[in-house]
Structure 1
Amino acid sequence: MSTSDDELAIRKLIATWLNATRAGDVDAVLSLMAPDAVFLVPGGPPMCGREAFAKPLRALLATHSIETLSEIQEIAIEGNMAYARTRLTVEVRPRDGSAAPVRRSGHTMSILRKQPSGAWLLTRDANLLGAPA
């Protein structure tokens, strides 16, 4: 796979992640990350591992829907490691309409590792989302 093909694969992973989240398909999201993935979020401890990420996402999607917009600003690939820098906007809406949607936006930095199969998986993610300005 050439670097161009790798970049396309990473862009596809990001799009698949957003679509699976929108559809509430947590298992599809989990399939895009390494088992030992680590997520950094403002104001909270790191979420270490797929299940640490899955549990709150499943709870949230039971009562809310999530819409996202991701603007990829940079992808760099070096061997079997890559990073993707994005500007992300997330809107979380209660399914029952009981409250106004919560909107967050900001930058993310994701580190991905290419697997022996050729697939890319997210291994580390830093999410700097806050209230929109």
Structure 2
Amino acid sequence: MSQDERAIRQLIATWLRASRDGDIEQVLALMAPDVLFLVPGQEPMLGRETFADGLRGLLRTQRIEADSEVEEVVVAGDMAYCRTRLSVRIVPAQGGAATQRAGHTLSILRKGADGAWRLTRDANLLMPVETPGV
């Protein structure tokens, strides 16, 4: 495994940990300012600050628990793509039923002049997971 692939896998692990811990600034540091997120049924979300606003709102009342299995990382110079299988649980801070979404993601990353990889485009194909007996 190349150093770049290890760095991208570490970025994903850091993202999951920072999301779980509510460390919004750490999550934002992992993405390019012009990041673009694609999710089913919604218009594209453009920009780090737009993402931050949504994350701040969510974390006021809920916490995030996520697991990711990296299935593929391809590096070509200062660009890379990564395909993962992702599962996210959103748990109300005051108790109550959690919601879960799972599926695949396809992310494009760019290596900056500082040598750090950052997320620049992300297609998140997560769908609700049905809870048995509900």
Task: Please say whether Structure 1 and Structure 2 have the same fold, judged by a TM-score greater than 0.5.
Answer: yes
Question: Given residue 64 of structure 1, which amino acid in structure 2 is its aligned partner?
Answer: Q
What's the secondary structure of 1:57's corresponding residue? helix
Please give the alpha-carbon distance, in whole angstroms, between the structure 2 residues aligned to 1:80 and 1:31: 18
TM-score when normalising by structure 1: 0.95
Pairwise CA distance, 1:117: 1.0
Equivalent residue letter for 1:106: G
Instruction: Tell me which residue corresponds to 2:4.
Output: 6
Rounded Cα–Cα distance in structure 2 between residues aligned with 1:132 and 1:70: 15
**TM-score normalised by structure 2 residue count:** 0.95
Structure 2: distance between partners of 1:74 and 1:14 = 12
Amino acid at match of 1:103: Q
* One-letter identity of the residue aligned with 1:100: A
Question: Which of 98, 101, 105 matches 1:104?
Answer: 101
2:66 counterpart of 1:78: no
| Correspondences of 1:1-133 after superposition (within 5 Å) | 4-97=2-95, 99-132=96-129
Offset at residue 131 of structure 1 (A): 1.5
Question: How many residues are treated as equivalent by the alignment?
Answer: 130
Offset of 1:132 from its aligned partner? 2.3
The residue type equivalent to 1:111 in the other structure is I
Percent identity between the two aligned chains: 59
Distance 2:89 2:111 in 1: 30
CA distance in 1, matches of 2:40, 2:10: 26
Query: How far did 1:6 drift?
Result: 0.3
Structure 1 alignment gaps of length 5 or more: none
Deviation of 1:70 after TM superposition, in Å, equals 0.1
